Each structure stands twice: as C-alpha cells, then as structure tokens.
Amino acid sequence: MGIYDELGVARVINAWGTVTAVGGSLMAPEVLDAMREAAGAFVDLHLLQRRAGERIAELLGVDAACVTSGAAAGLTLAAAGCMTRRVPTRRTQLPVTTGLADECLVLPAHRNRYDVALTLSGIRIVEVGPSAEITVDQVRAAVTDRTAMFLYVAESSQISGSLPFGVVARAMRERDVPVVVDAAAELPPRTEINRYLADGADLLVLSGGKEIRGPQSSGLILGDHDLVSESAAHAFPNHGIGRGMKTDKETIAGLVKAVEIFVDRERDERDRCERVVADIVAALGSVDHLKVRRHRPASSLIRPVTIPRAYITPLLRSVDEVVARLRDGDPAIAVGTDGPDVAINPQCLELTDVPILVGAIVAAASC
C-alpha cells in the first residue's frame, strides 16, 4: 500500500497539463535525490538562498534570480520589492503601505485569479482605463507618483483588450515604473524568459513546479539585479511578509537540480510531446463518434501555447459530460477543454498512458 492508497486518494492520469490542482508536474529522480541529500545536513539558509539564486541565474542566462515558494509567492514578493526599492528602511512595515508608492497598474483584460497574490503585499491594483479600447497613451497617463509597478500577465497577452508587451514596457521604462511579468506557465520554450527580459521586463515571475518540474512549492523571480535583491529581502528566511512563504533547503536544492535538467531537456521533450499527440490522433482517427486533430491553442488563455495538443470533438456527448466521465473513471483522468473540444495536453503524459487514455476517451464519449 502506498501513501495515496492509505489515505484513500485515487491516482489521476494527467492529460490536462501542469495544472496545480492535480499536482502540477512530477520531479525527475535526480531532483528527488538532490532533495534527499539536502535534507541530510544543516546549512546557512541565507547563504544557500543566495548561492542557489546565482547558480540559477547563470543557468538561465539572466542577471539575477531568487527562489520563492511558487509563482504566486513570487508575485507577492515582487510587488513588495517594487514598493520598497527606494526606501528599504520601510521593508518591515508591509503590508502597511503608509509613505510608500503602493499602486500596481494593470490592463483590465489582465485581471485574473492571482490578483490576491499581489494585494497580499499591501499593494493596490489600479486598472488602466476605463475604456473598451485601451491605448498605450492611456497606460502612460495612468502613471502617478503613487505607481509602484506595472503588472503584465503573459497568458493574457493575446486576448482582446491586451497591448503588445514591448510597447507597454517601453512606455513604463520612460516613466521609471518597474514592469513585472507573470510568466508562471509560459514555458516552454526557455527563450520566452530571455525574450521578455530583452523586451523590457524588470522582473519575471515563474512557477518551479510546472514545466521546470521542480518541487511543487517552488518558483522564481528573475531579472534586474537590484530589484531581485530587494524582492529577496522580503523573502524567507528574512522576517517580513515573505516569512510564511517558506523555501526550505530541500525545495531550494530540488529547484536548482530541476533547472539544470530543464535547460538540457528541451529538444527531447518537444519530440516526446509530438509523439504522444501523434499516437493519440492516430488511435482515435477512425472512431465514428469523435473528430480528432493535432492543434495548438494559439489565441486562447490555454498555456503554454507552444505545446501541441490532441483536440477531440465528441459528437454524441457534450464536452462537460466527457470530462466528468473521465474524471470519475477508473483510473481517473484529468483533461483540459477548449470550447467544443477536449484538449489533451501531452506535457505530463507518458507514452505508456496513451492506450489507457484512448480507451477511456472512446468509452466516455459513447452513448
């Protein structure tokens, strides 16, 4: 009996993607080994945090990095860093923002479920607008002496009401407003990191437990050296608002190892994803009650856009019915959706999962 059996929690085949609610991603054996090794000795956590940041920055080719307990924590700490960058003596007062520039500008189209990760720092979210058609001039005009940062949510970059990143970043640079990009689920490819930084991001916030496949409770703040340092000053093991967002030694060691593997793995991973999708499309291609195709969800909120999917249109049942039947099946299977289609994401699937998945989809979509 394993721990999940003991607790009466069924395993799930993950055809949905690196979705936190089903466990995000699985760590490589080398990552688990690094965590086990780190668990066996005491070290100075301040030093470990600093050295890990330096090593990850070098691996990813960025100026500076700070390990956080997830992208959500990264947003909280980045907001804190932006508020105190000129007045470090006020760090410990957060989340009380008296005497600080404490507003975060955001496009209305970029508001999302992670807003609270920002406001936890004490920062206030201020939407640019109001208008259906936001222009960069309106973004510029929205800056006041209370503006501490601009938040750009990468997953929303292609939806209606968004603006191109480079245009916004240039405008904010002119006003000396730091631009923070929530790029939690944008990888792969790795070049997205460097592209956003080259286009003017001051800070980029990433999940460690999605495509990087580090510990689930890990994340990164990357970018400008001074701003990363200021954000890190709010983070564990310092006392302040980040004290509760613990990055233990095992998590830090695991994330360093995961980033090492991540930078070497990209091409193999692309081939594996194509193969899984091709196998699913081939296996389901001749089934009467399904339409199946390889597809990339380029313009919706589904991330990451670079991962090919198998899109399946069930002809006899609704998408919601199929999703529910897969989720309640044995084994349970988690899938994503996009409009009328079931969207199978190969990121967390093994080739050996494909026959089980294919059989379950045929059955779930039948009458």
| Site for ligand PLP, rule CB under 6 A | 20, 70-72, 114, 155, 182, 184-185, 207, 209, 219
Count of H-run helices and E-run strands, the chain: 12, 12
Residue whose CB is less far from ligand PLP, 81 or 219: 219
Q: Which residues lie closer than 8 Å to 50 by C-beta, 6 or more apart?
A: none
CA–CA distance, 326 with 364 (Å, rounded to integer): 6
CB of 252 to ligand PLP, least distance (A): 15
Name the 3-class secondary structure at 309: strand
Residue whose CB is less far from ligand PLP, 114 or 237: 114
CA–CA distance, 172 with 344 (Å, rounded to integer): 38
CA–CA distance, 343 with 339 (Å, rounded to integer): 9
CB of 325 to ligand PLP, least distance (A): 26
Residue whose CB is less far from ligand PLP, 20 or 337: 20
Q: Report which residue's Cβ sits closest to ligand PLP.
A: 70
Residue whose CB is less far from ligand PLP, 187 or 319: 187
Residue whose CB is less far from ligand PLP, 20 or 138: 20
Q: Which residues pair with 309 in a beta bridge?
A: 295
CA–CA distance, 13 with 3 (Å, rounded to integer): 17
Rounded-to-5 percentages of helix, strand, coil across the chain: 45, 15, 40
CB of 78 to ligand PLP, least distance (A): 12
- Length of the chain, please? 367
CB of 137 to ligand PLP, least distance (A): 27
CB of 134 to ligand PLP, least distance (A): 20
